[in-house]
Chain A
Amino acid sequence: MANVPLWAQLINLFAAVLLLLAFAMLAQRRVLTLIDLFAAQGFALACSTAIVAYATHQAHLYWSAGITLLLKVLLLPWLLHRLIRKLDVKWDVEGLINIPTTMLFGIVLVVFSFNLALPIAQLASTVSRATLGIAMASVMLSFLMMITRRKAIPQVIGFLSMENGLFFAATSATYGMPMVVELGIALDVLVAMLILGVFFFQIREQFDSLDLQHLEKLKESE
């Protein structure tokens, strides 16, 4: 390991942090802590992007690190906090999930993703080869989080953290997508969040709760 440059080690470190945070989110029942974890994940993402930018001298990656920092660490968590305050669901606790089983499932998913990414990682010319597997694993973990949650806000945080995993794949495994694409993706995420904010209020108005169990009426004819 002695010949691995420091920045590559740092990227791997942040990749590991990203994955750990994905697990932490999977196990977290409280909404407020979930948002903090999401912000922390965004921060790890921004750091790793900045390091890739420094190491490869690609100026546009600094921009993308900046956008990530602005959007995922500051703006989105702030919007979520505001929403929670307005909706008064600060102390919402997800009761119905079985955390140990979910974690076990999560481990299986990580193993699966690493296996899937293995043949590709061997082709990668980039130094941070393991990162593709980690990115895929954190996408899968967010996916699992969305499936297991019954409340609207945790589901949305799952959705956003899935986007984190994807962004990580784009920046660390391939050294960044073209700028227009990254800007488009960032815009989409932001608009999605705003629409969801509107949506929360509509759901609350209709059902007096953000519990998605109310949203199970539309089924195949019985």
Chain B
Amino acid sequence: MIEILAVLGLPVAGALLLAAIGEREQAPAVNVGVCFLTLVAAVALTLKVVSNGPLLVLDKLFFVDSFNVFLVALTAFVGFTTSIFSRPYMRIEQERGRLTAGRLRLYHSMYQLFNSTMLVALLTNNMGILWVAMEAATLTTVLLVSLYRTPESLEAAWKYFILCGVGIAQALFGTILLYFAAEKLLGAEGGALLWTELNGVKAHLEPTVLSLAFVFLLVGYGTKVGLVPLHNWLPDAHAEGPTPVSAVLSGLLLNVALYAVIRCKVLVEGSLQNAFAKELMMGFGLLSVVVAAFLLSRQKDIKRLFAYSSIEHMGIITFAFGMGGPIANFAGLLHMTVHSLTKSAIFFAVGHAAQKAGTQLIEGIRGLITISPTIGWGLALGSLAILGMPPFAVFTSEFLILTTAMREQPWATPLLLLSLGVAFAAVFSKVQPMVFGETTVQRLPHRPAMLPVFVHLAIVLMLGLWIPPFLADWYRQAAKLIG
């Protein structure tokens, strides 16, 4: 109870505090501090759930089970490491005149608010509040994407706002339909939107309404996940916003949106008793994997490249949850975790690399390793990890997904393998000359914070070799819950 309030309250308090003092010199440190406290609260919550089992508090408004608890911990953790990375990064940006002090204040305040909306979305038990929090997450990040106020960033932010706004409106319609179906069983007294209540009666929910609701929910939240063909906003928003924002968008927001889709899928599947939801998710997932993989090779901007890679990985995860069953779900959850860690690590490295080269164009960034070995190695190892090289854990999860696909959906396996191969060729051939070769890059005025990159990659490496028993336990429980 107290832990949940702390997890939710700290970022809000941080946002208010930073709205007041965000332009001062110590603001980045305050930002890191608030994120650290949030992480501590999230760890305390996690420990409590580990020892006492699922929690349902505050008039059933908040709910923690094995599925969302690890996402809460992950969100708080990546939020914390990103705030460490953003300290030197934003300082350099400010010194280069891309930002004023006032915008920095906006940035810090919105960063905290964004964190809190994601945590609310993860912890709430009410499908309506989940929608409200997702919309609020869009609104806070719109301002972050347009932070530089360049024509390109304004365009990206406008596109992001309109596309996600429309998408999320579809999700609201889906939520209304869900309520429409549930209200007959549970009455109008507010219980009809609570996930735990809905989960209890899911077998009796009206199937025709729920199948229509799921289409709207999948399209709505799927827009935020970045599923093809609803992905148009994603590369622009990633490329034009500040890099810490790209890192949290890719690493956290996409996960949270996918979490919403999966919660809905559990209900719909329980009601329909057929493969409708599965097939829709597999279809969208596979399409995203294939399209994103083939678009990778055409990218010239390094942040766009990794944005497309995020679409590809979200496609893989959606496909895995679409297949369902204990192994695919386990792999999907693992992939959510390691993709989030690896992709944010890559964005940290890419951010500093782009600052050194003074450009985000791949052609302009050459020979990172000679001037700054840490950034070069961070980028090289991160790229290898995200491409699914063993012994990193992305390999483990992709291997599990592929072997399950071979057994259960053999038709999809060639497409998946082909896409993974194409993605490998595209990304590797672009990253390799960036890391090695003749150099043009310069030194940075401040020491970059590269520790988060290696901490993330070390965790991904560890998960590839050994998954701690409690984590494996959660994944298994959550996988069973998802069905």
Contact = CB atoms under 8 A, between A and B. Distances in A.
Interface stretch (A17-25, A26-34, A104-112, A202-210): A202-210
A188 B136 contact: yes
Interface stretch (A41-49, A71-79, A91-99, A118-126): A118-126
Given A125-B184, A220-B298, A215 B154 contact: yes
B430 to A, nearest CB: 12
A207 B151 contact: yes
Interface stretch (A4-12, A81-89, A177-185): A177-185
Chain A interface size, as a band, is: 35 or more
B169 A174 contact: no
A197 B179 CA distance: 32
A120 B183 CA distance: 14
Contact of A184 (B132, B157, B190, B299): B132
Interface in B166-209: 166, 169, 172-173, 176-177, 179-180, 183-184, 188, 190, 192-193, 206, 208-209
A196 B146 CA distance: 12
B112 to A, nearest CB: 16
Nearest to A198: B143
Q: Which of A155, A174, A177 has the most CB of B within 10 A?
A: A177
B180 A159 contact: no
Contacts of B428: none
Main SS at interface, chain B? helix
B156 interface: yes
Contact of A202 (B129, B136, B154, B240): B154
A120 B143 CA distance: 39
A177 B193 contact: yes
B155 interface: yes
A3 interface: no
Contact of A217 (B128, B152, B183, B209): B152
A203 B157 CA distance: 11
Contact of A120 (B149, B172, B209): B209
A13 interface: no
Q: Which of B128, B146, B209, B236 has the most CB of A within 10 A?
A: B128
A179 B59 CA distance: 14
Main SS at interface, chain A? helix
A169 B209 CA distance: 14
A203 B158 contact: yes
B126 interface: yes
A191 interface: yes
A41 to B, nearest CB: 15
A141 interface: no
Interface in A159-199: 159, 162-163, 166, 169-170, 173-181, 184-185, 187-188, 191-192, 195-196, 198-199
B162 interface: yes
A143 interface: yes
B142 A123 contact: no
Contacts, number: 132
A123 B206 contact: yes
B177 A120 contact: yes
Given A218-B155, A218-B240, A163 B169 contact: yes
Given A123-B208, A166-B169, A220-B298, A174 B154 contact: no
Given A192-B139, A218-B152, A174 B179 contact: yes
B128 A174 contact: no
Contacts of A214: 151, 155
Nearest to A119: B208
Contacts of B161: 192, 195-196, 199
A33 B62 CA distance: 44
Contact of A146 (B166, B176, B236): B166
A184 B61 CA distance: 14
B300 interface: yes
Given A123-B209, A195-B139, A218-B152, A159 B166 contact: yes
Interface in B97-152: 126, 128-129, 131-132, 135-136, 139, 142-143, 146, 149-152
A46 B436 CA distance: 64
B480 interface: no
Nearest to B132: A184
Contact of B132 (A181, A195, A202, A217): A181
A215 B208 CA distance: 41
A123 B183 CA distance: 12
Contacts of A53: none
A6 B288 CA distance: 51
Given A178-B193, A195-B143, A218-B152, A170 B176 contact: yes
Interface in A121-164: 123-125, 132, 136, 139, 143, 146, 152, 155, 159, 162-163
A5 B165 CA distance: 38
Given A188-B135, A220-B298, A221-B298, A173 B149 contact: no
Given A139-B169, A184-B131, A188-B135, 14 more contacts: A58-B188, A120-B208, A173-B176, A174-B180, A178-B128, A179-B190, A185-B128, A195-B161, A198-B143, A199-B146, A206-B151, A215-B158, A218-B156, A218-B239
Interface of A: 58, 116, 119-120, 123-125, 132, 136, 139, 143, 146, 152, 155, 159, 162-163, 166, 169-170, 173-181, 184-185, 187-188, 191-192, 195-196, 198-199, 202-203, 205-207, 212, 214-218, 220-221
Q: Which 6 A-B pairs have the closest CB atoms?
A: A181-B128, A184-B132, A215-B155, A178-B190, A174-B180, A188-B135
8 contacts: A173-B176, A181-B193, A188-B135, A199-B158, A202-B149, A202-B154, A214-B151, A220-B298
Interface of B: 126, 128-129, 131-132, 135-136, 139, 142-143, 146, 149-152, 154-159, 161-162, 165-166, 169, 172-173, 176-177, 179-180, 183-184, 188, 190, 192-193, 206, 208-209, 212, 236, 239-240, 295, 298-300
